[in-house]
Structure 1
Amino acid sequence: MSLDAALNAAQLSLSANSKRIMVSALNVAGANDPNYSRKLSPLVMENGGVYAAGPTRAGDTRLYERYLEATSASARDGALLSGYMRLSDTVGDTSAGTSLVARLGALTDALTEYANAPGDDNLARAAVTGARDLAVALNDAASVVNEVRSGAAEEIKTSVGRINTLLQEFRQVNARVVHGSVAGSDVTDDLDRRDALVAQLAGEVGVSIVTRANNDMVLYTDGGVTLFETTAREVRAEVGGGTARVFIDGVQVAGDAPQMPSKSGKLVGLTELHNEVVKDYGAQLDTLAFGLIQAFREVDPAASGADLQGLFVGGGGSAALPASAGGLAGTIAINAAVDSRASGDPGKLRDGINYSYNTESAPAYADQLFGLLGQLGDTAVAGLGGKRPLDYAAATVSWVESGRKAAYSAAESNGAVVQLVTTSLSNARGVDINEETALQLELERLFAASAQLISVVDNMFQSLLNAVR
């Protein structure tokens, strides 16, 4: 090898190692950034010399796509679980006296004791108190349902706003990536930022990606609707009348009867929570309240008048039985006529509120009380679908707890998948400080060797020149 060739090789090696040391230093600086991908600068042979190519990014495209899928699924399950947990608070521990089932059971027991000793005023007050506690529990549960529904509605709007903001930022970063790729400049940091934005989008709605020429990226929902192609598509929500709908680029992706439904993401979970879970549970509570009013209705002893509201009443102030269950859980209360707090007489529960049953004012009269117990235990109570009120309450509790358990199981499973995929992705593209330290030591030795070679060649040139002189 000639001295010129040796000097050129040493200089190229020095330049290549210098670049690789710089890239390694960047890796060390970004080691604690979860969105940073390890940069690589491989050596390539060109024109008889060695050059440091890149930098390029370490990574695994399929693993990254799986990470997006897992993130979306976990976000959907998390939104549902959060809602179910809040609704589960209204159920309470079924073994405790604060649960709906326990309160209804306590009312049944108090009414039974009163029927067995109808002359005891204390037992009359206890029965009315049990009814009040049950009504308050239903009111509280209805209030929680409304809170969860309104909270989900606000979160849907927030999620839509966040998606639109992320898409605008994605547009800017993607433009820099495309322009930099065309110009041949280093776009690895912008690629990292773009991946981070896509991951955040995946938390809001399921996302699939397609990468085109010059690293241009197109985004679709997991249902096939375009989120971004050259420009960001508009995402909007319509929330009202107890129903939420989400549209992307004019196509409905979530809500009642979506055209191209998305399957995952926080936005999908919130919409399902708002439109289905909360709606169904609220309807069950209203139906239970409707059934209680029906079970404690007063029947005209002469069979000539209409059945009227008795111990329990719905909103509106009318004595007539409600025509439907809508909204009753939030308004059900005990009849003021038996409420001692409202100057009522608890004894009217025995003697009659709207009709006079105890015509002789006999203290041992219990027919009406036993009649109410019979109605409470009847499977033909209107609106309860062939169930007794206690059985319907138990079924409602079971429905909530089954949903909560399923949501918890799904959230736990997908959470584990997210953790596993995140770890695998970090191993594939993250920075290992020990590995970078070892690489830097190796590069320093190569740098020193190249510098030494240049020094040797320089000495040889000096000797040659001296000999010529």
Structure 2
Amino acid sequence: MSISSAFNSASSGLRVTEARADMVASNIANASTAGYTRREGTQVSSGGTGGQTVDLRMARQVDERLAAMSRGASAQLGQANVTGEVLRGYLSTLGDIGDEISPAARMADFQAGLDLLANNPSSASVQADVLARADTLVRSLNTASNALESSRTQAAASFQSAATEVNSALSDIANLNAQLRGQSIGSPSFSGLMDEMNMRLDALGSQMDFQSRWESSGTLTLFTAGGTELVSGTDAARLTVDTQSGTLFADGTDITPNQPGNRGITSGRMAGLSQMLSNVIPQMKLQQDELARGLVESFQDADSSLTAGQPGLFTDGGAAFDPAQSDGLAGRLGINANVRPETGGALWRLRDGMSAATPGDAGATAQINAFIGAFDTARPIATAAGLGSSARLGDLASSMVGAQHNIRVSADSQAGTASIRLATFEDGRSMVEGVNIDTELQKLLEIEQSYGANSQVLSSLSDMIDTLLNAV
């Protein structure tokens, strides 16, 4: 090897060593920087007329498969967490089956009050106690209905907010695509842009599941899990939502989850919110209304004093039940004013019937027993309520409360599983992408040795040249 070739080799070695030192220093400096991906360098040699030289190729350490699995688990966790986020306040208001605030407990308490009245039908204090228990039952359903509507309003606002957040992320990805075009792979600016892209994709992952593909132009194309295009080059789709129906669109294409024939999303926070608005909350509301309908119709049917069109003990805002106005009945459920002394009614109608004109026999129990019998009669339930085809009032109340709490229990179980999967994948990513300070410091020692060796070569070559020149 000639002196000039050796000089070129040693000089290139110093340049590579300097580049490696810069890279390691950058890794250490950004060890705690969110979204930063560890850089690793590979030395490659090349030959030429000037001798053998070395160069450094730098690459971000990424496992795309692990990243995709991590984002998938994040989407599942985001979807499962929606249930607790939206329904936590409502279910607290509803109470569990054994809680005294729940409609199921209030129903049993009211039934027990009627049993007491059957044993002492003439007692004004017992009659007043039955009315108070009926009021408490009605308020429990009214309160639950209002709380569920508040949850629906919260879900609608979150759905709209999530769409805004996703639109911002999609726009950012399209802008990053524009910046990535023409960038030299492995350059510091390219690596920085890729780190930003990685962060945008991770943030998007909790909102919705997606597929991605890197194009030959160096840009990223994004699709829904069903194949609808979200980002292509510098163009990003715009998401819009219908907060009443839970429908989700991408530039007018329906990507609502779990819709036959749709090429939409399948998981993520947006999928959870969509299902809340389209299915979960409407079914919960129907269950409440079916329970309210059961109360109104049962006590209308059991009241022998009524004529057609007259309301029973439980009313739809003071009126008899109208099948065409059943939606929202739980929120309008009330007590017949004919039993309220403060509004001109009389407590004895709890013994004699809501439309009785005059008090009957003080010891009569026929009407009271008919009211008690209403609890033993199975009544039809709307199939869409998901609580079977028929049930007695007490069983219907318990089934409703139990079914609605089970939704939360099931979601919490799914969230626990998704959280474990996400933690596992994130640990794997951290091993690949993260910076280990001890490892980087060891690399600095190797770099120092390499620098010293190349410097020694240059120093020896310089001495050789000086010796040759002195010999001339």
TM-score scaled by length of structure 2: 0.92
Please report how far the alpha carbon of residue 378 of structure 1 lies from its aligned counterpart in structure 2 after TM superposition. 1.1
Deviations 1:182-201 (A, max 9, x none): 89774011011011111212
1:73 aligned residue: 76
Matches within 5 A, 1:314-329: 314-315=316-317, 317-318=318-319, 320-324=320-324, 325-329=326-330
Number of aligned pairs?
Answer: 461
Matches within 5 A, 1:133-282: 133-181=136-184, 186-230=189-233, 231-240=235-244, 243-254=245-256, 257=259, 259-282=262-285
Partners in 1 of 2:352 and 2:297 — Cα distance? 18
Alignment equivalent of 1:104, drawn from 103, 107, 119: 107
1:353 aligned residue: 354
In percent, how many aligned pairs have the same letter? 25
1:54 aligned residue: 57
Deviations 1:349-375 (A, max 9, x none): 11222134xx66322122111110112
CA contact (8 A) 2:96 2:402 kept: no
Deviations 1:289-343 (A, max 9, x none): 111111222667488x32632221112x43x333242111111112222235546
CA contact (8 A) 1:338 1:349 kept: yes
Matches within 5 A, 1:441-452: 441-452=445-456
CA contact (8 A) 1:181 1:215 kept: no
Alignment equivalent of 2:125, drawn from 117, 122, 126: 122
2:398 aligned residue: 394
CA contact (8 A) 1:255 1:271 kept: yes
CA contact (8 A) 2:73 2:418 kept: yes
SS at 2:363 equivalent? coil
Relative distance call for 1:151 and 1:300 in structure 2 (3 A) is closer
- One-letter identity of the residue aligned with 2:308: A
Deviations 1:434-458 (A, max 9, x none): 1111111211121122222222222
SS at 1:219 equivalent? strand
Deviations 1:49-107 (A, max 9, x none): 34333321111111111112111121111113423434422431322211111110000
Partners in 1 of 2:172 and 2:34 — Cα distance? 19
Relative distance call for 1:256 and 1:122 in structure 2 (3 A) is farther
CA contact (8 A) 1:296 1:376 kept: no
CA contact (8 A) 1:297 1:307 kept: no
Residue range with higher mean Cα deviation, 146-155 or 251-260: 251-260
Partners in 2 of 1:16 and 1:100 — Cα distance? 75
Partners in 1 of 2:343 and 2:465 — Cα distance? 113
Alignment equivalent of 2:440, drawn from 436, 439, 445: 436
Please report how far the alpha carbon of residue 31 of structure 1 lies from its aligned counterpart in structure 2 after TM superposition. 0.9
CA contact (8 A) 1:298 1:354 kept: no
SS at 1:95 equivalent? coil
- One-letter identity of the residue aligned with 2:353: G
Partners in 2 of 1:301 and 1:236 — Cα distance? 54
- One-letter identity of the residue aligned with 1:137: S
Structure 1 unaligned runs (5+)?
Answer: none
Partners in 2 of 1:391 and 1:277 — Cα distance? 21
Partners in 1 of 2:429 and 2:293 — Cα distance? 54
Partners in 2 of 1:43 and 1:22 — Cα distance? 14
Relative distance call for 1:360 and 1:282 in structure 2 (3 A) is closer
CA contact (8 A) 1:81 1:411 kept: no
CA contact (8 A) 1:298 1:308 kept: no
Residue range with higher mean Cα deviation, 279-288 or 57-66: 57-66
CA contact (8 A) 2:180 2:190 kept: yes
Relative distance call for 1:302 and 1:57 in structure 2 (3 A) is closer
SS at 1:187 equivalent? helix
Please report how far the alpha carbon of residue 34 of structure 1 lies from its aligned counterpart in structure 2 after TM superposition. 3.4
2:385 aligned residue: none
> Is residue 362 of structure 2 the alignment partner of residue 363 of structure 1?
yes
* CA-atom RMSD in angstroms: 2.2
2:428 aligned residue: 424
Structure 2 unaligned runs (5+)?
Answer: 383-387
Please report how far the alpha carbon of residue 108 of structure 1 lies from its aligned counterpart in structure 2 after TM superposition. 0.4
- One-letter identity of the residue aligned with 1:398: G
Partners in 2 of 1:151 and 1:255 — Cα distance? 20
- One-letter identity of the residue aligned with 1:21: A
Relative distance call for 1:256 and 1:308 in structure 2 (3 A) is farther
Relative distance call for 1:457 and 1:301 in structure 2 (3 A) is closer
Please report how far the alpha carbon of residue 26 of structure 1 lies from its aligned counterpart in structure 2 after TM superposition. 0.9
